[in-house]
Chains A and B, each alone.
Chain A
Amino acid sequence: MNQLYTKSTQAIFWNNNKTAIQRMLDYDYTIKRETPSVAGIVAPTSGNKFEKFFWGGDEIMIPLYKSTAEAKEAQPQADVLLNFASFRTAYDVTMEALEIGGFSSMMITAEGIPERLARGMNAKARELGVTVIGPATVGAITPGAFKVANIGGTIENIINSKLHRAGSCGLVTRSGGLFNELSNIIAINADGIAEGVAIGGDRFVGSVFIDNLLRMEKNPEVKYMILLGEVGGTEEYKVIEAIKDGRITKPIIAWCIGTIAKYYDSGVQFGHAGASANGEMETAEYKNNAMAEAGIHVPATFNDLPAKIKEVFESLNLDPIPEPEINIVPKVRRPKQFICTISDDRGEEATYAGFPISSVATPDTGKGIGDVISLLWFKKQYPKWATEFIETVIKTVADHGPAVSGAHNAKVTARAGKSVVESLVTGLLTIGPRFGGAIDGAAQYFKYADDNDLDPKAFLKYMKGEGVPIPGIGHRIKSLKNPDLRVTGLMKFAEENFPATPLLDYAKTVEALTTSKKENLILNVDGTIGILMVDMWRALGYSEEEINEFIASGTLNSFFIVGRTIGFIGHVLDEKRLAMPMYRHPMDDILYDVQKAEKIG
């Protein structure tokens, strides 16, 4: 590619450096990018799933990931790595990302990575054709397209320095601070830059002057180049070579800073780690002379650089660059207190995950309550078999008679004269690990056993070790010979409609073992629902991690809550109709065993 970045380039940002990321997003907003330039953030120690950033006056969420691998998998289109790890870990982060692949360029900000590691990392990247910017750099920019982190400074400075749209200069510097300065000088004396790179101040950096200049030579947007070198090293000579052999034909303006170094012995380190002359050839003066001899435009001093730029730029007689319209980032912004990602009532009609309510409500839409749940709970359009399964589950768990504790509580509360909602929540509050919770438990434990390849025997042993009966196994009266028809129905539906039921198949092998011990240790309705939900999600393409998260967040219980709410309301309304009096539990049904309290202490 002849250009480092385009307007659709996206990056994975390693380290949640909020200021730098916000600067990138402000830039994106200013230049009217459609997508944020940061697709994801790797924050290994954060427990959060996303970080909020401003997008103009609004806010957007950028997902957080625990590792580069996870981020790349979720954001495969992001082909730039912005490595903001410290000098201790930057090497490992780069090497891992090279291993993962799919990155076209990487920027490494840390200063002082061990030289041998930096060399190894740079060589590996070169071998794989990955452009490395840095280490010890503030980055690079393709104005009007993509800006790395802090380069260019504040948004005000970016606009002042015309870094919000492509100009005609290709700029390469070592120093990051002077990069900004040069952008400003170029904006004042010419028409801004088309692409700019600060290659970094360490002795061993990935891409060097020549790599960047050769790319710019091929980039038609770049009409001339400016190189700001430094005392030390011989990289400038490679540029001279390229001019001599015709690989570079565009005009270059260049200056090497550090002309002062000749006055002092090597004990004084001027500027960056890379800036130390070994021999006369590496002095700034010698390099400036050599570059001038090769036909590069070299000013008399750094102070004369602006005039030189003006002179060369004017001699090119380029067409003026039209100023594009830009967005203005508001000065005052307030972070939002709440986030909503499922529905929106701001438009003409309220929507469920992007679908107007009317498009899912009436029968002619063909949508049922399962579709509404898939939209509002999972923000996805589930296929028919899955929404029908959800509806089947809800219908199956809607009620289980008045004697179960939740229904009993709802009835007692209703009889105390409380309202429908009060009575209902009393019933709902009963739902938990002992009442209704077997769905969660069954999904969790059976999935664990299946994930860890435990055969039924090993699974039973494991559960024994845990000290709990297997959730989802066992029924008061039903057995294999006298099956629970609700279970039979669910299994039949799954068999006929699910693409596959691996966890149910596994659970049946467990059931075969448990029923061989005791006949009523069958897979009960809770277990079947929990297990089939896992199979449903697997078939829908969710990752194991996402499914584990559904289980952990109580999603399975939610199906039970929705279903059983129907039954509870039925019981409450039943009580209201019957106008039953206040309930008092008969005293003869209570064992009283009260001792006189002893004095202690």
Chain B
Amino acid sequence: MAQKAIREYDAKSILAKHWDKYFPDFTYAYETVMVQNGSELAEAAKTKTWLNEKPLVAKPDMLFGKRGKNGLVLFKDEKPGDVSLEKAASWIDEKSSSKQTVYFAFDGDTPTGEPSVDMLTHFIVEPFTPHDQSEEYYISATVVGDEDVLYMSAEGGMEVEEGWEEKVTEVAFPITATEEQIASKIKANIPADVKEEDKENFAKFAIGFFKAYRELNFAYLEINPFVLQGNKVELLDMVAKLDDTAGFMMVDEWGDVEYPTSFGMEEKSPEVMAVEEADAKTGASLKLTLLKPEARIWTMVAGGGASVVYADTIADMAGIEDLANYGEYSGGPTTGETKFYAETLFDLMTREKDPSGRGKVLIIGGAIANFTDVAKTFTGIIQAFENYKDKLKEVDTKIYVRRGGPNYEKGLKDIKEAADRMGLYIEVYGPETHVTDIVRMALEK
């Protein structure tokens, strides 16, 4: 996926790094640290004196919002603005010691929808900033269709989220808009209820913000709220996504940024990580998502489009409860890469028998390849068969193959001969059979 969420801390760090370029008229203290536990916070305080000197705010930095409503923002001990370093450290240790329940949606203060339950592992700690609600503003930018859209509001925080339609001014720009066009359009569209004395500064800030969003290749950038106190700016809360395809041009601009998994999402299994690692090293494409590893139908499909139609067809004909994985290999992987990918799948699919006693189904599918050499990739699959034939038989695997493209006759012949020789159940089809028809055949058995 091209657009990837980053932590609030990283978003602030990126803006801070380029602050003078985009916001030369404003100051931002960039007093912020990210820690995983209380002792890391104590350690940070040795170099960042403000941690000792100022009252603090602490909150998880794990890609989810509504932290206040989830009771996960520490800003008071006895009264607002009295959180000490020790208090913040002990609170972080407490919150990170057991699984926390987090709701992503609220109706008023009542949580709605299913919560996620997971450990909190990353926290952001900043000084407590006393300010008026009236000083809080909202700004964000993202791509909608083919255009960049800037959203601005005179009200920040939860106010804006609850009254989006009335309170937010939207300004859209084509990709070809010049800096002058952008600046004048923003100036002309500053929300009417921004305080009169702040209007000029708000416009300056918004222009810099939108320029930073564009030039630093953010896919989404939101500050909610930011506080304008003359020329002093506080970024109280930020959400950001980067276009990670721009990573090769943004090495210096972004610095060391990580793309964490969302809170509550299952950690990636070592097998999936291994496939991702292999994918990163090759010009070909290797993708694997585990949907339900105990399910009986496994797919090893070539091609981004074909993999989707196989998944669609299995969901239609068998139901998703039978679909174990989603993935694809394409772009002419080597024999070795294909073998590795196949072995990863075979290893996962042979770990447990189907609880209801049915055999497993392995769909080795694919459309008619444009340039991938079918015989070469099938050699990799055959090598994987050699290593997993006994295990595949143990879970009573039936294999269905359908493929076309360069050298497909040889590929199909080889895989059929090899499976027969090893005593694996196999049915093999070429381009004369409709691409997904093997799913029907497999299910009718």
Which A positions have Cβ atoms within 8 angstroms of B? 19-20, 87-88, 112-117, 119-120, 123-124, 127, 138, 150-154, 157, 160-161, 173-178, 180-181, 184-185, 188, 201-204, 228, 230-231, 234, 257-260, 263-264, 267-273, 275-276, 284, 301-303, 306
Contacts and interface: CB of A to CB of B under 8 A. Distances in A.
Contact of A150 (B245, B287, B371): B371
Given A115-B217, A119-B175, A157-B368, 5 more contacts: A116-B175, A150-B370, A152-B370, A175-B303, A270-B326
B145 A260 contact: no
Interface of B: 1-3, 143, 145-146, 174-176, 214, 217, 219, 243, 245-246, 248-249, 262, 265, 287, 289, 291, 302-309, 311-317, 320, 323, 326, 328, 330, 366-371, 404-406, 431-432, 434-437, 439-440
A180 B370 contact: yes
B201 to A, nearest CB: 27
Nearest to A127: B176
Contacts of A201: 304-305
- A114, A203, A276, most chain B CB atoms within 10 A: A114
Contacts of A116: 175, 214, 217, 243, 246
B440 A303 contact: yes
Contact of B369 (A160, A180, A270, A284): A180
B305 A271 contact: yes
B431 A177 contact: no
A174 B305 contact: yes
Nearest to B306: A177
A151 B370 contact: yes
Nearest to B176: A123
Contacts of A260: 308, 311-312, 314-315, 320, 323, 326
Contacts of A234: 145
6 contacts: A112-B245, A116-B175, A153-B368, A153-B369, A181-B435, A302-B312
A184 B249 CA distance: 40
Given A153-B405, A157-B404, A180 B145 contact: no
Nearest to B323: A260
Contacts of B219: 115
A456 to B, nearest CB: 49
Q: Which of B219, B309, B328 has the most CB of A within 10 A?
A: B309
Given A115-B143, A115-B219, A153-B368, A184 B404 contact: yes
A302 B313 CA distance: 7
A230 B435 contact: no
A302 B436 CA distance: 8
A268 B306 contact: no
Contacts of A258: 308, 312
B291 A268 contact: yes
A307 to B, nearest CB: 10
Given A119-B146, A267-B265, A272 B312 contact: no
Contacts of B1: 269, 273, 276
A144 to B, nearest CB: 19
Given A260-B315, A270-B326, A175 B291 contact: no
A177 B303 contact: yes
Nearest to B307: A271
Contacts of A184: 368, 404, 431
Interface centre among A116, A154, A202 (most CB of B within 10 A): A116
B174 A273 contact: no
Nearest to B175: A119
B246 A303 contact: no
A228 B174 CA distance: 28
B306 A178 contact: yes
Given A180-B367, A184-B404, A175 B2 contact: no
A171 to B, nearest CB: 13
Nearest to A235: B145
Nearest to B243: A115
A114 B309 contact: no
A272 B304 contact: yes
Contact of A138 (B245, B246, B370, B406): B370
A14 to B, nearest CB: 17
Contacts of A112: 2, 245
A178 B176 CA distance: 33
B370 A176 contact: yes
Given A123-B175, A178-B303, A257 B309 contact: yes
Give me the 3 closest cross-chain CB pairs, A-B, nearest first: A175-B305, A177-B303, A114-B246
Contact of B434 (A20, A151, A154, A303): A303
Contacts of A180: 367-370, 404-405
A115 B2 contact: yes
A284 B316 CA distance: 13
B432 to A, nearest CB: 8
Contacts of A264: 291
Contacts of B2: 112, 115, 202-203, 273
Contacts of B330: 177
A110 B63 CA distance: 31
A181 B245 contact: no
A306 B437 CA distance: 11
A127 B326 CA distance: 39
Contacts of A152: 370
B256 to A, nearest CB: 19
B215 to A, nearest CB: 9
Given A114-B246, A157-B405, A301 B368 contact: no
A174 B303 CA distance: 12
Contacts of A203: 2
B304 A177 contact: yes
A263 B246 contact: no
A176 B368 CA distance: 10
Contacts of A20: 371
Contacts of A275: 308
Contacts of B308: 175, 230-231, 257-258, 260, 270-271, 275
B377 to A, nearest CB: 13
Contact of B245 (A87, A153, A174, A263): A87
Given A19-B371, A115-B2, A120 B306 contact: no
Contacts of B312: 257-260, 284, 301-302
A510 B284 CA distance: 61
B406 A153 contact: yes
A228 B2 CA distance: 22
B436 to A, nearest CB: 5
B174 A123 contact: yes
A176 B305 CA distance: 8
B316 A301 contact: yes
Nearest to B305: A175
B208 to A, nearest CB: 18
Contacts of B431: 157, 160, 184
Contacts of A174: 305
B305 A257 contact: yes
Contacts of B304: 175, 177, 201, 271-272
A177 B246 contact: no
Contacts of A204: 146
A88 B250 CA distance: 12
B211 to A, nearest CB: 12
